[in-house]
């Protein structure tokens, strides 16, 4: 591995409420996952994030979620039919795609947010609904997936390009999915520890779970959450550590 992408969930402010330091993060990451209004974001924030990303040479993707502004998309939404979720995802991608087109650019990818992402990683029907939605809007879009889980299988099943992602600041359960945020140790806050952990994952092509299991994976992109305390410092530390190890940091759409 000589190339790696850094991505972050951005555009998560809403109306008069500001979340995260997008301006600083867009000077560090190479891909931005932009909230599409269902868990955060609004048309003005979406457009501004697209424009800021363009000024920094950062690729833009849609970050669809369950319709859950109150819970920031992190509450499990049970009982929704996959066919209905498919339409929700199409709607969100389409909204961001239209704003990108108005700004003279295009989308690189789609990455699911919060509980939608966690549930799709373990539910083949839900994962297929997301993959079908992406393909329906634009078959050229890249699906960011959890390696070895249902979203990877879905991307392959419908013929989408995919980018396999690991998380810098989240612990892994033994099934390869993320540890619930409700549990102690689920979120990593130490920037140096996160940077060394990311480098080990990328160099060894493996995830080490909270239970000590080693899982071989392919890694194309690393996520640093933009809404956690110290997110900018952590992202900078990770980028510097990867660059010092000789990796080229660039949007995955330029080389996948």
Q: Locate tokens 């868990």: which residue?
A: 39
Domain limits of the chain?
A: 3-254
What are the strands, taking DSSP E only, across 112-220?
142-145, 161-167, 206-208, 214-216
Per residue of the chain (256 residues), give pLDDT as tens. Answer: 589 999 999 999 999 999 999 999 999 999 999 999 999 999 999 999 999 999 999 999 999 999 999 999 999 999 899 999 999 999 999 999 999 999 999 999 999 999 999 999 999 999 999 999 999 999 999 999 999 999 999 999 999 999 999 999 899 999 998 998 888 888 888 999 999 999 999 999 999 998 889 999 999 999 988 777 788 999 999 999 999 999 999 999 999 9
- Round to whole Å and give the CA distance between 203 and 218: 10
CA distances to 90, 148, 242 from 94, rounded to whole Å, are 6, 28, 34
Among residues 151, 181, 179, 144, the alpha carbon closest in space to that of 165 is found at 144
Contact 204, 159 (CB under 8 A): no
User: Can you give the length of the chain in residues?
Assistant: 256
Q: Tell me the pLDDT tens digit for each residue of 178-228.
A: 998 888 888 888 999 999 999 999 999 999 998 889 999 999 999 988 777
Query: Residue 134 belongs to what H/E stretch?
Result: helix 124-137
Architecture of domain 3-254: Alpha-Beta Barrel (3.20)
Token reading at 5: 């992408």
Q: Tell me the pLDDT tens digit for each residue of 140-156.
A: 999 999 999 999 999 99
């Amino acid at each position: 591995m000589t190339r790696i992408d850094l991505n972050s969930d951005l555009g998560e402010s809403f109306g008069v409420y500001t979340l995260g330091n997008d301006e600083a993060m867009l000077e560090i990451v190479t891909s931005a996952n932009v909230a599409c209004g269902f868990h955060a974001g609004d048309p003005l924030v979406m457009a501004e994030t697209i424009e800021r990303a363009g000024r920094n040479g950062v690729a833009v993707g849609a970050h669809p979620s369950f319709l859950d502004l109150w819970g920031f998309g992190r509450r499990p939404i049970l009982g929704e039919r996959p066919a209905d979720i498919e339409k929700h995802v199409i709607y969100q991608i389409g909204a961001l795609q239209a704003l990108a087109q108005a700004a003279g650019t295009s989308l690189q990818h789609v990455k699911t947010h919060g509980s939608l992402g966690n549930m799709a990683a373990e539910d083949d029907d839900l994962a297929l609904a997301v993959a079908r939605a992406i393909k329906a809007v634009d078959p050229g879009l890249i699906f960011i997936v959890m390696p070895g889980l249902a979203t990877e299988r879905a991307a392959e099943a419908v013929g989408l390009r995919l980018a396999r992602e690991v998380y810098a600041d989240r612990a892994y359960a033994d099934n390869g999915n993320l540890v619930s945020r409700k549990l102690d140790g689920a979120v990593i806050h130490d920037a140096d520890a996160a940077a060394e952990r990311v480098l080990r994952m990328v160099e060894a092509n493996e995830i080490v779970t909270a239970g000590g299991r080693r899982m071989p994976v392919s890694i194309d992109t690393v996520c640093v959450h933009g809404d956690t305390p110290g997110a900018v410092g952590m992202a900078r530390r990770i980028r510097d550590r990867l660059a010092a190890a000789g990796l080229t940091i660039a949007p995955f759409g330029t080389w996948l």
